[in-house]
Amino acid sequence: MNALPAWVLLRRLYPVAAFLAGFVWDALTIGQRIRVVDFWRLGAFLLGAALLTLWLARREALGLTPPEPDRSFAGRCGALAWQAPYLLLQFFFGGIFSALFILYFKSSGHLGTWLMAAFLGALLVGNEFAGERYGRRFTLTWALFALNAILLFNFALPHALGSLDPLWFYASTAAGVVLTVGLRWLAPRRPGRIAPAWGLAAILMLAFSFDMIAPVPLVKRQLAVGLDFVQERGRYAMQVERPAWWQWWRDQASTVHVPEGGRLYGLSAVFAPLGVTAALEHRWEILDSGGWRVVYRRPFQSTGGRDRGFRGYSWVLNPPPGDWRFIVATQDGRTIDILRIRVERGTPKRDKLLDRNFD
């Protein structure tokens, strides 16, 4: 059996290498905080994808065909030149998907939003193996372009306007589809169908109504419950119970002991970009025979720009034993994060307590 040429092996490994390199780069540069330069970079990727899509449509309208296979240097250069638009389009879509996956994952705090982040992750992986299908199947190209544009605008518009009003989600979703429709209208002979792009927009709006879209551009930082809360000179601190040794993924124990007549405190830190003001709330809910019941709700305003997140705290007095949820959410009902705990009556042991500071 003849060994495959080196350039063929490199071509087959390109999707995996591109995926890993792009994901690692975005993980290191995006997600800790959201900067204006991130939006400019992703906007440049979207513009590049638009121009390449128009070029591929023009090439198809002119009836151009790929060069015949040729092992000569000139033949290989010709094949690479033909393939280059597909690879660049793949790179631009992958760059947007990678960044948005990280940002949406950072903003996810419950099952519905995690499922949406997983959907983006699946698209990110699938994009790396799509290859020439973008040029051959323009319906797929329009659908993915619309999804990229919608998700990017969902981030950028609230950031630009400094508001998290749900109206901006619907406006940015419509803007992404309209941009895609306009791009197809400019494309020679208007190849492919645009209906799937409208379908994606409808699915995203439905997911938004079911609280499955993370409240971007907010990013959760910390969420904790405990006793003996202290606030002094800009320092927030409280005591939390140490998790069991095998619960390495938890910051605190899932069971909290509260003495009779004591207070159970909750503290959250949520990052918002500079210039964004968000109306947030803490909700304390207990599970009873009728399901989750709200015991206490505390609204407050957050101001963006603080790297470690805007901090808010609340408490419930003498919480009865049972299953509880401490929730931080926007005041219009979008969930940012949920901490589930079991409250038991009693005084926690000293050696089980940890002092946590929230700078």
* Domain range annotation of the chain: 6-209, 219-358
Q: What is the pTM of this model?
A: 0.77
Please check the confidence at residue 1 and state whether its pLDDT lies above 80.
no
310, 302 in Cβ contact below 8 A?
yes
pLDDT in tens, 3-21: 545 544 455 555 555 555 6
pLDDT band at 166 (very low <50, low <70, confident <90, very high): confident
Q: What number is the average pLDDT over the span 40-63?
A: 90
Q: Which tokens hold the place of 86?
A: 């597909």
| 234: Cα separation from own chain's centroid | 30
pLDDT band at 85 (very low <50, low <70, confident <90, very high): confident
The reported pLDDT for the residue numbered 84 is 81
pLDDT in tens, 197-210: 999 899 989 989 88
Q: What number is the average pLDDT over the span 132-137?
A: 58
Helix (DSSP H) and strand (DSSP E) numbers for the chain: 8, 10
The reported pLDDT for the residue numbered 178 is 96
Q: What number is the average pLDDT over the span 129-144?
A: 71
The reported pLDDT for the residue numbered 89 is 86
Measured distance CA(348)–CA(262) in Å, rounded: 12
pLDDT band at 274 (very low <50, low <70, confident <90, very high): confident
Greater model confidence, 74 or 164: 164
The reported pLDDT for the residue numbered 258 is 95
The reported pLDDT for the residue numbered 106 is 75
Residue type, position 50, single letter: A
pLDDT band at 136 (very low <50, low <70, confident <90, very high): low
pLDDT in tens, 246-259: 888 888 999 999 99
Greater model confidence, 85 or 20: 85
Residues 6 or more apart whose Cβ sits within 8 Å of residue 212: 112, 113, 115, 116
258, 343 in Cβ contact below 8 A?
yes
CA distances, 262 to each of 175, 252, 319 (Å): 51, 19, 8
Enter the CATH code of domain 219-358. Answer: 2.60.40.10
- Secondary structure of residue 88 in the 3-state scheme: helix
The reported pLDDT for the residue numbered 187 is 93
The reported pLDDT for the residue numbered 7 is 47
Q: What number is the average pLDDT over the span 176-191?
A: 94
Closest CA to 114 of 211, 218, 248: 211
Q: What number is the average pLDDT over the span 290-300?
A: 94
Q: What number is the average pLDDT over the span 154-169?
A: 85
Greater model confidence, 126 or 184: 184
What integer best gives the mean pLDDT of the chain?
A: 83
pLDDT in tens, 211-261: 888 887 787 888 999 999 998 887 889 999 999 888 888 889 999 999 999
The reported pLDDT for the residue numbered 33 is 56
pLDDT in tens, 333-353: 889 999 999 999 999 888 889
The reported pLDDT for the residue numbered 226 is 94
pLDDT in tens, 56-81: 899 888 887 777 777 777 777 777 77
Greater model confidence, 175 or 245: 175
Greater model confidence, 67 or 281: 281
